[in-house]
Structure 1
Amino acid sequence: MHSPVIVWLRRDLRLSDQAAIAEAAGKGPVIPVYVLDDETPRHRAMGGASRWWLHHSLASLDAALREKGSRLILRRGKCEDVLPALAEETGAREVHALHHYEPWWRNAEKAVGKRVALHLHHGNYLVPPGAVTTGAGAPYKIYTPFWRALSERMPPPEVQPCPDAIPAPESWVRSESLADWNLLPVEPDWAGGLRDAWEPGEDGAHARLQAFAGKASRYREQRDLPSRDATSFLSPHLHFGEISPAQVWHAMAGAGGSVETFLGEVGWRDYAQNVILQFPDYGGKSAREPFDSFPWRTGENAEADLRAWQQGRTGYPIVDAGMRQLWHTGWMHNRVRMIAASFLVKHLLIDWRRGEQWFWDTLVDADYASNAVNWQWTAGSGVDSNMFVRIMAPLSQSEKFDAAAYIRQWVPELADLPDAEIHDPAPMARPADYPSRLIDHRAARERALAAWEQAKD
């Protein structure tokens, strides 16, 4: 029998359209391994919601592997140490994996490659990040020309099917217990809403894709309406690699109508990776110089406002609905994400990095590139971003995008108010258990514009 081949799994937890598994399966016995490495990412180790998702995704992947005659090996530690040790233990001659582009994973790939024969494959994005360049060969910084150039290279390669069987080694090495990793919350168990909302794993991803198929043609018309069930809910499945972007593209490209807008959102995911490839510290460093001296609020009052925002107690119904949806389900509607993020940065003048960190811990789709790019776009600090002086008005946004039913679902204190009042309840109409606004919109706008002038000066 040939010596075994290790497949190093990270955010690519699927069997179909998975180039590393397909290549390894053709070379000999395969040892699929997931390494829980909290040391390499350091402060970017997965947050609580992502760890909940990871537990269930790994359990699903192990079950799928066993149906193919294989299984998933679990090890904990630093990848650059664990993988060479596993190769020596098993006699494996090669390690196969998909490219990852977060700065810590790029560093880990270099370190692992110095100690074992590491073969990296593409497949987590429509095209390899860095491959779409200008006529002069430079990477794009602005989304629109990037998307135009990316579109010219579409469709992506055809989807590769799952192998019929995955050859197993003569004997299996020790695997750690998933339960012993303590990825699930226990005291308290705050994940009830996540369990109700999601089915992690490859099967869950394809169920979401199938459910979205009938709505994709109306995406542009309905995607901004949080009271409608109009979005794909594929973001966590894409983040954990339970489905490939090529699978999504080929399934949706012929839907007609305004599906092109949805495909552009899949392209935005590629764009975000392009940005962090150029600016690895994008998750913690503003791209525009005025923000280096921006007068963010700090101190006791600012911290109290931050807690109110996190808990959905700002007094702005659309913001509070979004933040409560996030806490309950680990996800938030995209339009509401923009409103809630803008409120933190521009109404409360709290550093965008504080919001990015909260999303990192509470989102099941917490993705380093997308999270950082989206926050910097909203703050106005990014290489391609909204202008800081464009300040979203949450009250009018709520009415414009017909969020009444959404607010009733997530802010039940206001459920009895009519549509005409629920977006902006008058003081006398506010229930006693619903807070007053942290700050009036006009006062917040004036304060934000003054802070911007100070930063520019």
Structure 2
Amino acid sequence: MNTAVVLYTSDLRVHDHPPLRAALSSSDRIVPLFVRDRAIADSGFAAPNRLAFLADCLADLDAALRERGGRLVLRSGDVVAEVCALVQEADADEVHMAAGVSAYARTREERLRQALEAQGRRLYTHDTVVTAVAPGAVVPSGSGADHFSVFTPYLRRWTELPQRAVAAAPRRVRVPEDIGSEELPRRAAVTGTSPGLARGGEHEARRLLADWLRSGITRYEDIHDDLAADATSRLSPHLHFGTLSPTEAVQRSAAVGGAGAEAFVRQLCWRDFHHQVLAARPGAATADYRTRHDHWRTGPAAEEELQAWKDGRTGYPVVDAAMRQLSHEGWVHNRGRLLVASFLAKSLYVDWRAGARHFLDLLVDGDVANNQLNWQWVAGTGTDTRPNRVLNPVRQGIRYDPDGRYVHRWVPELAGLPAPRVHEPWRLPGTERARYDYPPPLVELADALDRFRQARPGAAPGGVRVP
């Protein structure tokens, strides 16, 4: 009776799971395994919000496997050492897992491959588990480039590429009874989480997807940028943890049809785009993808402004609203992410890495590909073809929160102040302004724009766009 191990990483589901299906096809028994990676914990990447969400995901995955006669095996430590020990314990012939994208994940896979081969066993990696289209599956024609650096041509090729069929969840999973497991983590045991943190797990992911396809996606094109409407899918944490298959999300969304579905699928393509960039340029996790030779502000003043930005006390209401949503929920609207990133990197001219680090400290959907490369896109060091674009938080607030409802929700000290004045409270007469416990702006926007133009080489006045 042969046995295979299914090593779960960022793919915590039973529906549309190629490694699980392949292992079940090749072996009589399988061991579904998750290893709490000591290196990730030691790196600080295992932030409380993601640990709590992970606990939900593991509990839900274990329940789904038990419904099918199996269970999840949990171990902790070095992933390579733990997998190699388990394959000996279970006398397994092969290991199946999702292919990674980051430099760390790919190095870990290579270490595991070599260690298993030394034991006479094989590692199989599956490359359309974490993304709908595998990184490297499409490359620019005739240029010799190994990846797309501009989104629109990538979108065209991505759309044309046939996708694999969505795999059904298995009906039966047989796991050896004598394989021991650690106790699963509990969400309640994680401290320091955001009070409004969403629930994790595949069951919740599939419920959200069904609701989204039934009643949300058709309006997406029209109101996805409306901050107060909160008209986005909220599926990003589930895509990050793999409780939802991106392939299934793309195909079921496309089947709905219409402008809303098309716009949503485009966002899923952006996710794949960033993964293929990181796979080709792993150094972009920490270094400029396209350097602008910035000399970011440092010193006490910059540190104080960075802290005010983190606390949601910049004096710009829509920026502060988004930062407070991030703190409360461990999630923030995509338009809000763009606004706060532009404000930090371009209006305050603070290194994008400081902002990306804070996001990773809080975001439940924080992953290296999307977080770092979205920050680089906004900072102008990434794939944006207009690197000197500076978002004006007042104009953006009036445009995407015209009634001020988003600001009122997250900046209650400005409740009752109507739009558009709520987006410029410093313009109130002195006696009226004193009624609101709200700070003045950290920086005048005109001064910040002049500073940016002078500080960034090549950012001449005519080359800076301020939407």
User: Above 0.5 in TM-score?
Assistant: yes
The match for 1:131 is 137
1:116-139 CA deviation, whole Å, 9 max, x = no partner? 211111322112110111222632
The match for 2:180 is 174
Instruction: Measure, in 2, the Cα distance between the counterparts of 1:60 and 1:307.
Output: 37
- The 1:183/1:36 distance shift into structure 2, 3 A limit, reads farther
SS at match of 2:6: strand
The match for 2:282 is 280
1:259-278 CA deviation, whole Å, 9 max, x = no partner? 21111110111100110111
The answer to whether the 8 A contact 1:146-1:271 is kept is yes
> TM-score scaled to structure 1, two decimals?
0.93
The answer to whether the 8 A contact 2:414-2:436 is kept is no
SS at match of 1:119: strand
The match for 1:447 is 451
Instruction: Measure, in 1, the Cα distance between the counterparts of 2:384 and 2:189.
Output: 36
The match for 1:315 is 315
- The 1:125/1:454 distance shift into structure 2, 3 A limit, reads closer
Instruction: Measure, in 2, the Cα distance between the counterparts of 1:13 and 1:453.
Output: 45
Instruction: Measure, in 1, the Cα distance between the counterparts of 2:257 and 2:72.
Output: 39
1:205-245 CA deviation, whole Å, 9 max, x = no partner? 11111221122122221111111131111111011110111
The match for 1:33 is 33
Segments of structure 2 that go 5 or more residues without pairing to the other structure are 117-121, 461-467
1:314-363 CA deviation, whole Å, 9 max, x = no partner? 01000000000001111110111000000000111110000011111110
Instruction: Measure, in 2, the Cα distance between the counterparts of 1:351 and 1:87.
Output: 45
Instruction: Measure, in 2, the Cα distance between the counterparts of 1:275 and 1:58.
Output: 29
The match for 1:118 is 123
Whether 1:191 aligns to 2:194 is: yes
The match for 1:391 is 390
Instruction: Measure, in 2, the Cα distance between the counterparts of 1:441 and 1:183.
Output: 43
The match for 1:95 is 95
Quote how far apart the aligned CAs of 1:158 are.
2.1
The match for 1:152 is 160
1:100-150 CA deviation, whole Å, 9 max, x = no partner? 111111001111111221111132211211011122263211111111111
- Paired residues, what number? 444
Instruction: Measure, in 2, the Cα distance between the counterparts of 1:3 and 1:224.
Output: 52
Instruction: Measure, in 2, the Cα distance between the counterparts of 1:421 and 1:143.
Output: 37
SS at match of 1:282: helix
Quote how far apart the aligned CAs of 1:40 are.
5.8
The answer to whether the 8 A contact 1:13-1:202 is kept is yes
Q: Aligned partner of 1:441: which letter?
A: L
1:245-291 CA deviation, whole Å, 9 max, x = no partner? 11111221132331211111101111001101111011110122333
1:380-399 CA deviation, whole Å, 9 max, x = no partner? 011x1153432110011000
Quote how far apart the aligned CAs of 1:48 are.
2.4
The answer to whether the 8 A contact 1:55-1:184 is kept is no
The answer to whether the 8 A contact 1:41-1:104 is kept is no
- The 1:6/1:183 distance shift into structure 2, 3 A limit, reads farther
The match for 1:62 is 62
The answer to whether the 8 A contact 1:316-1:437 is kept is yes
1:263 to 259, 262, 265: 265
Displacement over 6 Å in runs of 4+: none
Instruction: Measure, in 2, the Cα distance between the counterparts of 1:144 and 1:41.
Output: 37
The answer to whether the 8 A contact 2:15-2:167 is kept is yes
The answer to whether the 8 A contact 1:193-1:328 is kept is yes
SS at match of 1:167: coil
Whether 1:165 aligns to 2:172 is: yes
- The aligned runs of 1:239-254 (5 Å cut-off) are 239-254=240-255
The answer to whether the 8 A contact 2:345-2:352 is kept is yes
User: RMSD between aligned alpha carbons?
Assistant: 1.9
Segments of structure 1 that go 5 or more residues without pairing to the other structure are none
The percent identity for this pair of structures is: 37
Quote how far apart the aligned CAs of 1:42 are.
5.9
SS at match of 1:208: helix
SS at match of 1:215: helix
Quote how far apart the aligned CAs of 1:41 are.
8.1
After alignment, is 445-454 or 43-52 more displaced? 43-52
The answer to whether the 8 A contact 2:452-2:459 is kept is no
The match for 1:208 is 208
The answer to whether the 8 A contact 1:12-1:98 is kept is yes
The answer to whether the 8 A contact 2:194-2:327 is kept is no
Instruction: Measure, in 1, the Cα distance between the counterparts of 2:292 and 2:399.
Output: 32
SS at match of 1:179: coil
Instruction: Measure, in 2, the Cα distance between the counterparts of 1:283 and 1:409.
Output: 33
The answer to whether the 8 A contact 1:40-1:78 is kept is no
